Amino acid sequence: MHTIWLNMMKKIYADHAATTNVDELVLDSMIPFLNGRYENPSQPYSGAYQIKKELYLARERIARCINAAPEEIYFTSGGTESNNWVLYGNTVLNNKNGTIITSPIEHHSIGECCKQLSKFGITTKTVDVDAHGIVDSDSLNRLITDDTAIVSIMLANNEIGTIQNIKELVKIAHQHGILFHTDAVQALGHIPVDVKDLDVDFLSSSAHKYNGPKGIGFLYVRKGIDIAPLIVGGSQENNHRAGTENIASIVGMSVALELNCKRMTEFTQKMAELEKVIISAFEKSDIEYVYNCGQKHIPGLINVSFKNISGEMILHRLDLKGILVSTGSACNGYKNEISDVIKSIKVSKEYAEGTIRISLGIDNTFEDAVLIANSIIDVVKSTN
Ligand code: PLP
């Protein structure tokens, strides 16, 4: 009975930083490659050649969205693989020792990868961040030495949405002749991204964060840089990433990115309005909270910490009302502990445990925002 009631409730999904729904147009673009057009693009016959052409068109579509050249785009299985590839490819796979410089608020696919690389003698240094997660550029300058292998700092954070001043950080790395990678998984499709303007050498992306399918992404590699392959055993992706291409998902990803780039202004405006609805409701109520996002953050991604309450409990109480939010990133959502990001930005102890992330998306409405805000206020008040 309880389950039936839950299923009948309107679900308000506000966890778009964890993943998004595949857009109808994206789905339509994928279907032919799942049913009918299944030839392997590596084969020499004409049907396969047509698929190869579709692959190229998808690569071109993606490249256009980030101001890259098609041959600078390498398809991967998503953000995690792209991040691992960059770090391995620029250290052990290149027979290079050295140090990786990164930030303390990176996604686990960077942090855990650095830990793994320590088994091969690669060390990691982390830059300082401020109370909103903004990297201190002086600390980057201080940490760079002759043995720095690569600098990897994310463009936008997945828990607090903070957007880094990547251009300034890249400039510092390049002044020392060091390559720069940015994890743009949370940024792409949400804010304009131009690889030439940012001047990055590598950029990671994942389709499921911008209304594309899961399990597909890409790595941008600046022309002229030769990164050693992580996955070998085939000549796909110009001999740099082996494995039969996931054509349906690649096409879907390209359509999703193009769609989100086209509607970005309208989308951003809507997200800012909905965010305002939620934050002003918190402001008007007498609940005690801290707002963890920086001034420049991903539109629609709100991270707040409430005083003397468990974020986990807020999440479950909202879930019972059909509202889906998160306490941190999807990767540590099951862990009942304060995330590294929240620790790094030094949210005080009485607030840290009461942290939740509300990440809005294209389908959320004004009514959703009002309901989310009022439900959170009710939950917080009911425990005080
Ligand atoms: N990097 C960031 C910033 C992310 O938010 C995520 C996913 O949450 C990833 C990397 C991993 O991407 P994927 O899920 O495609 O492996």
**pLDDT tens by residue, 258-298:** 999 999 999 999 999 999 999 999 999 999 999 999 889 99
Give the separation between CA 131 and CA 45, rounded to whole angstroms. 58
The protein residue with its alpha carbon nearest to ligand 1, atom 13, reads 79
Tokens 């609940």 belong to residue = 287
User: Cα–chain-centroid distance for residue 99?
Assistant: 24
Q: 211 in ligand 1 pocket by Cβ < 6 Å?
A: no
Local structure of 323: helix, strand or coil: strand
Task: Decide if 2-22+263-383 and 24-262 have a common fold.
Answer: no
Residue-level pLDDT at 3: 47
Of 168, 167, 211, nearest in space to 188 by CA? 211
Of ligand 1's listed atoms, the one at least distance from the Cα of 207 is 15
Distances (CA, A) of 1 to 4, 6, 204: 5, 9, 45
Q: 185 in ligand 1 pocket by Cβ < 6 Å?
A: yes
Mean pLDDT within 243-262? 98
Core vs surface per residue 248-283: b (16+ CB within 10 A) or e: bbbbbbbbbbbbbbeeeeebbebbeebbebbbebbe
Local structure of 162: helix, strand or coil: strand
Question: Which amino acid, residue 333?
Answer: G
Radius of gyration of the chain (CA): 21
Of ligand 1's listed atoms, the one at least distance from the Cα of 216 is 15
**331 carries an active-site annotation:** yes
Q: 9 in ligand 1 pocket by Cβ < 6 Å?
A: no
Question: Which amino acid, residue 186?
Answer: Q
Delimit the domains of the chain by residue range.
2-22+263-383, 24-262
Helices 264-284 and 247-262, packing angle to 10 deg: 70
The protein residue with its alpha carbon nearest to ligand 1, atom 5, reads 158
CATH of range 2-22+263-383; options 3.40.50.300, 3.90.1150.10, 3.30.200.20, 3.40.190.10: 3.90.1150.10
Task: Give yes or no for a contact between 206 and 185, defined as CB atoms under 8 angstroms apart.
Answer: yes
Task: Collect contacts of 47-55 with beta carbons under 8 A, ≥24 apart.
Answer: 51/247, 54/247, 54/251, 55/245, 55/247, 55/250
Q: 154 in ligand 1 pocket by Cβ < 6 Å?
A: yes
24-262 is a CATH 3.40.50.300 domain: no
Task: Give yes or no for a contact between 110 and 102, defined as CB atoms under 8 angstroms apart.
Answer: yes
Give the separation between CA 148 and CA 154, rounded to whole angstroms. 17
Residue of 65, 114, 293, 331 with catalytic role:
331
Residue-level pLDDT at 8: 61
The tens digit of pLDDT for each residue in 311-332 reads 999 999 999 999 999 996 545 5
Q: Is the pLDDT of residue 214 over 90?
A: yes
Q: 254 in ligand 1 pocket by Cβ < 6 Å?
A: no
The Å distance, Cα 43 to ligand 1 centre, comes to 32
Q: Is the pLDDT of residue 334 over 60?
A: no
Of ligand 1's listed atoms, the one at least distance from the Cα of 217 is 15
Q: 201 in ligand 1 pocket by Cβ < 6 Å?
A: no
Of ligand 1's listed atoms, the one at least distance from the Cα of 19 is 8
